[in-house]
């Protein structure tokens, strides 16, 4: 490692307090050491963002850092895991100090908020690419998987769907809406700074039969639960939690909350007898949730509007397993 790379790491990334979260050895050796308490499973996940593909090339560095960590935290949330440690793979076209400062601030702010220690990584030269490997803990046997949904379970989502999708349409100028700047900022913010539902994931341990985070759109992501669990679903579009601006869109307003990604809410299934407990647990952490449908036997998804099946050409691509 050259001196400048060493300096770069110590100046911008060596901010993990060494004994945080059971870190035995953090940045600086050939590898990090962490202690996993007995009875816990280590939960590991990784996501990569490539400039020009996963974010526009002119995205501010702190926003890139935020998104890179937020999407990883969202995967921990979907597993019911407590995120504890991360590794950062940074490929940089050049060592730009102002950029690194902003990136480091963006990353450490979110990491501190969720109490995640940066324990290592790798720094290389090349086209701007950010990889975060996140590691968390879950008591053995309590991870929320995609495969546990059963016929009769309720399908529930946290928060509101389609906000990020509307934000993207506004950003790309695909849609002109007479919005106040406050509302416009709200939708753009939901796209650029999603809130990972980590607390909700923790609250759902022992309650949800299956869970996933909504990164690619509700139908696509719920589809993964259905495939893994070998079941089907009925969705009642009138129950989809959406912003009033989304509900007021002309035509099939529901195609946005059903198909647009980047909301990073959780979609999970729950046996009906645990519904009240789920609502109570999520209310206790101020997390909104809505029951949007039910798991059935068989395969595919039925989209219903007030009990009537909805035919939507715009959704054909998402219903391929029907």
**Burial per residue of 66-93, b for 16 or more beta-carbon CB atoms within 10 angstroms, e otherwise:** bbbbbbbbbbbbbbbbbbbbbbbbbbbe
Q: Smallest distance from the beta carbon of 1 to Mg ion, in angstroms?
A: 7
The neighbouring-strand residues paired with 155 are: 269, 293
Question: Which of the listed partners (Mg ion, ligand ADP, none) does 298 bind, with a CB threshold of 5 to 8 Å by partner kind?
Answer: none
Verify binding: residue 129, ligand ADP, rule CB under 6 A: no
In this chain, which of 3, 29, 181, 309 binds ligand ADP, going by CB under 6 A?
29
The neighbouring-strand residues paired with 18 are: none
Question: Are 222 and 146 spatial neighbours (Cβ–Cβ below 8 Å)?
Answer: no
Q: What is the DSSP letter of 57?
A: T
The C-alpha atoms of residue 312 and residue 113 are separated, in whole angstroms, by 41
Verify binding: residue 133, ligand ADP, rule CB under 6 A: no
The C-alpha atoms of residue 176 and residue 172 are separated, in whole angstroms, by 10
**Span 122-151, contacts to Mg ion by CB under 5 A:** 122
Number of residues that bind ligand ADP (CB under 6 A): 14
Which string of x and - marks every residue 62-101 that binds ligand ADP (by CB under 6 A)? Answer: --------------------------x-x-----------
Q: Smallest distance from the beta carbon of 123 to Mg ion, in angstroms?
A: 7
Max CA-CA distance within the chain?
A: 67
Q: Smallest distance from the beta carbon of 92 to Mg ion, in angstroms?
A: 14
Verify binding: residue 9, ligand ADP, rule CB under 6 A: yes
Question: Which of the listed partners (ligand ADP, Mg ion, none) does 249 bind, with a CB threshold of 5 to 8 Å by partner kind?
Answer: none
The two three-digit tokens of residue 268, written as one number: 């999970």
Q: What is the DSSP letter of 154?
A: E
The C-alpha atoms of residue 140 and residue 163 are separated, in whole angstroms, by 35
Q: Smallest distance from the beta carbon of 24 to ligand ADP, in angstroms?
A: 13
The C-alpha atoms of residue 44 and residue 148 are separated, in whole angstroms, by 20
The C-alpha atoms of residue 39 and residue 41 are separated, in whole angstroms, by 7
The C-alpha atoms of residue 82 and residue 275 are separated, in whole angstroms, by 23
Q: Smallest distance from the beta carbon of 243 to ligand ADP, in angstroms?
A: 37
Verify binding: residue 122, ligand ADP, rule CB under 6 A: yes
- For residue 73, the SS3 value is helix
The C-alpha atoms of residue 260 and residue 247 are separated, in whole angstroms, by 14
Sign of CA dihedral 81, 118, 112, 185: negative
Q: Smallest distance from the beta carbon of 28 to ligand ADP, in angstroms?
A: 5
Which string of x and - marks every residue 97-126 that binds Mg ion (by CB under 5 A)? Answer: -------------------------x----
| Nearest by Cα to 293 from 160, 197, 152, 164 | 152
Q: Smallest distance from the beta carbon of 181 to Mg ion, in angstroms?
A: 45
Number of residues that bind Mg ion (CB under 5 A): 1
**Residue tagged 């397993």 (tokens):** 321
Q: Segment near ligand ADP (CB under 6 A), from 118-126, 201-209, 230-238, 264-272?
A: 118-126
Select the residue whose beta carbon is closest to Mg ion and give its number: 122
Q: Segment near ligand ADP (CB under 6 A), from 92-100, 114-122, 130-138, 248-256?
A: 114-122
Nearest to ligand ADP of 123, 269 (CB atom): 123
Query: Which residues here bind ligand ADP, judged by CB under 6 A?
Result: 1, 9, 13, 27-30, 88, 90, 118, 120-123
Query: Which residues here bind Mg ion, judged by CB under 5 A?
Result: 122
């Amino acid at each position: 490692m050259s001196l400048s790379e060493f300096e770069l790491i110590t100046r911008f990334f060596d901010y993990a307090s060494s004994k945080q979260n059971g870190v035995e050895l953090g940045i600086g050796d050939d590898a990090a050491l962490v202690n996993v308490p007995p009875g816990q499973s280590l939960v590991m996940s990784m996501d990569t963002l490539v400039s020009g593909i996963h974010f526009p090339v002119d995205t501010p560095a702190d926003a890139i850092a935020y998104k890179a960590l937020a999407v990883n935290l969202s995967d921990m949330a979907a597993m019911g895991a407590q995120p504890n440690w991360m590794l950062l793979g940074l490929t940089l076209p050049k060592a730009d100090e102002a950029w690194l400062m902003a990136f480091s601030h963006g990353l450490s702010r979110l990491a501190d908020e969720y109490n995640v220690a940066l324990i290592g990584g790798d720094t290389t030269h090349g086209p701007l690419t950010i990889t975060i490997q996140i590691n968390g803990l879950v008591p053995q046997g309590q991870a929320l998987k995609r495969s546990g949904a059963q016929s009769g379970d309720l399908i529930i989502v946290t928060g509101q769907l389609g906000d990020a999708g509307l934000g993207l349409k506004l950003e790309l100028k695909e849609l002109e809406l007479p919005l106040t700047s406050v509302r416009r900022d709200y939708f753009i913010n939901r796209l650029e700074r999603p809130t990972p539902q980590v607390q909700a994931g923790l609250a759902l341990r022992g309650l949800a039969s299956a869970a996933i985070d909504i990164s690619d759109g509700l139908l696509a992501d719920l589809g993964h639960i259905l495939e893994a669990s070998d079941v089907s679903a009925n969705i009642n579009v009138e129950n989809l939690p959406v912003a009033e601006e989304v509900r007021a869109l002309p035509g099939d307003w529901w195609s946005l909350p059903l198909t647009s990604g980047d909301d990073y809410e959780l979609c999970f299934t729950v046996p009906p007898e645990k519904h009240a407990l789920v609502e109570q647990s999520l209310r206790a952490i101020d997390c909104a949730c809505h029951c949007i449908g039910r798991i059935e036997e068989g395969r595919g998804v039925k989209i219903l509007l007030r009990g009537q099946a909805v035919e939507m050409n715009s959704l054909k691509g998402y219903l391929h397993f029907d």
